[in-house]
């Protein structure tokens, strides 16, 4: 009745776990406003009873919670605890917080930390600047396809060509549908420019007049751990100031990279596919 992408290696299964965790991840993208059941049904690719059943399981474990009035679903305390316990291995935000504060203090503009998550970038933190005109195109939890936005582009540009192609391929439909100004070919150009100049520039491609500069942060082995970015209105992003900002950001990126190198060095030994196959992905013809 239904076709699934089947795994090739032995001992697969636990599909409901895949679905549940995929839902959990989906909820996380809604951030502070939370997700409603129907939104999750629409975007999660599962039907209502199944979605609800998995949400209940996630709530039983504390990973999610539901607002009893609005009925919306939010990340729960258990998610916070696990993340806190995991942060000794992946404490990029902890390590970067000082740098973000410094950047926003010195530049008066809003700065961000983003990381890669599959074929997207996710904003982990937004550090407010004091300048009166601020762009709100990016907030913690927001996700964009890799290459869309300054930090996102910085991360993409730090990947290997082969990975970049795989990612652009995977995002192809989404890019064409949601970002008419930013097709794969435009992103390929942007990557080239980023590599040449040494920093990523988003000249208002997502929101007019909202410009940003991004700089990748690298693990000791060269893989990108994430990216710093600073956003401002175009008048505050003219070439002369771009150079100033990049210089400040480079100093902070270096600091972060130094601290990253002292983290648990286990990271390099971990099994992890380059582009993990999303399990539960459906093939045409469902239902």
Partner DNA sequence: GAATCTTGATCCACATTATGGACCACTTGG
Partner DNA sequence: CCAAGTGGTCCATAATGTGGATCAAGATTC
Containing 28, the helix (H) or strand (E) segment is helix 15-28
Q: Where are the beta strands (DSSP E) in 77-223?
A: 110-117, 120-127, 143-145, 200-203, 210-218
Shortest CB 280 distance to DNA, Å: 8
Please name the residues in contact with 265: beta carbons below 8 A apart, sequence gap of 6 or more: none
Residue nearer to its own copies on the CB measure, 24 or 237: 24
Torsion of CA 281, 73, 97, 228, to 10 degrees: 40
117 binds, among DNA, its own copies, none (CB under 5 to 8 A by kind): its own copies
Binder of DNA out of 21, 25, 31, 37 (CB under 7 A): 37
Q: Should residue 59 be labelled a site residue for DNA when binding is judged by CB under 7 A?
A: no
Binder of DNA out of 23, 26, 27, 46 (CB under 7 A): 46
Residue nearer to its own copies on the CB measure, 58 or 200: 58
Q: Should residue 50 be labelled a site residue for DNA when binding is judged by CB under 7 A?
A: yes
Binder of DNA out of 7, 43, 60, 71 (CB under 7 A): 71
Stretch that binds its own copies, among 85-93, 128-136, 229-237, 244-252 (CB under 8 A): 85-93
CB 148 within 8 Å of CB 179:
yes
Stretch that binds its own copies, among 8-16, 159-167, 187-195, 244-252 (CB under 8 A): 8-16
3-class secondary structure for 235-266? HHCCHHHHHHHHHHHHHHHHHHHHHHHCCCHH
1 binds, among DNA, its own copies, none (CB under 5 to 8 A by kind): DNA
In which residue are the tokens 């045409």 written? 284
| Neighbouring-strand partners of residue 115 | 122
Residues that bind DNA (CB under 7 A): 1-2, 4, 9-11, 13-17, 19, 36-39, 46-50, 52-54, 56, 66, 71-72, 286-287
């Amino acid at each position: 009745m239904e076709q699934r992408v089947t795994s090739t290696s032995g001992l697969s299964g636990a599909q409901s776990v895949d679905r549940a965790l995929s839902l959990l991840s989906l909820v996380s993208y809604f951030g502070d406003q939370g997700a409603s059941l129907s939104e999750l049904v629409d975007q999660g690719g599962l039907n209502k009873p199944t979605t609800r059943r998995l949400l209940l399981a996630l709530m039983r474990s504390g990973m999610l919670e539901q607002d009893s009035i609005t009925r919306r679903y939010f990340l729960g305390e258990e998610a916070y605890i696990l993340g806190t316990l995991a942060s000794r291995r992946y404490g990029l935000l902890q390590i970067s917080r000082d740098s973000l504060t410094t950047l926003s203090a010195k530049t008066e503009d809003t700065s961000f930390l983003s990381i890669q998550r599959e074929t997207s970038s996710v904003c982990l933190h937004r550090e407010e600047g004091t300048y009166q005109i601020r762009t709100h195109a990016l907030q913690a939890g927001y996700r964009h396809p890799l290459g869309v936005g300054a930090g996102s582009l910085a991360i993409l540009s730090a990947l290997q060509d082969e990975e970049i192609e795989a990612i652009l391929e995977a995002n192809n439909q989404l890019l064409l549908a949601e970002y008419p100004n930013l097709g794969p070919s435009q992103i390929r150009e942007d990557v080239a420019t980023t590599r040449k100049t040494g920093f990523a520039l988003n000249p208002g491609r997502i929101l007019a007049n909202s410009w940003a500069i991004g700089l990748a942060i690298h693990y000791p082995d060269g893989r990108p751990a994430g990216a710093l970015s600073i956003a401002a209105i175009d008048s505050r992003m003219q070439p002369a100031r771009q150079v100033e900002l990049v210089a400040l950001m480079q100093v902070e990126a270096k600091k972060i990279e130094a601290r990253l190198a002292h983290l648990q060095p286990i990271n390099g030994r971990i099994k992890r596919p380059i582009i993990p196959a999303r399990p539960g992905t459906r093939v045409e013809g469902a239902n």
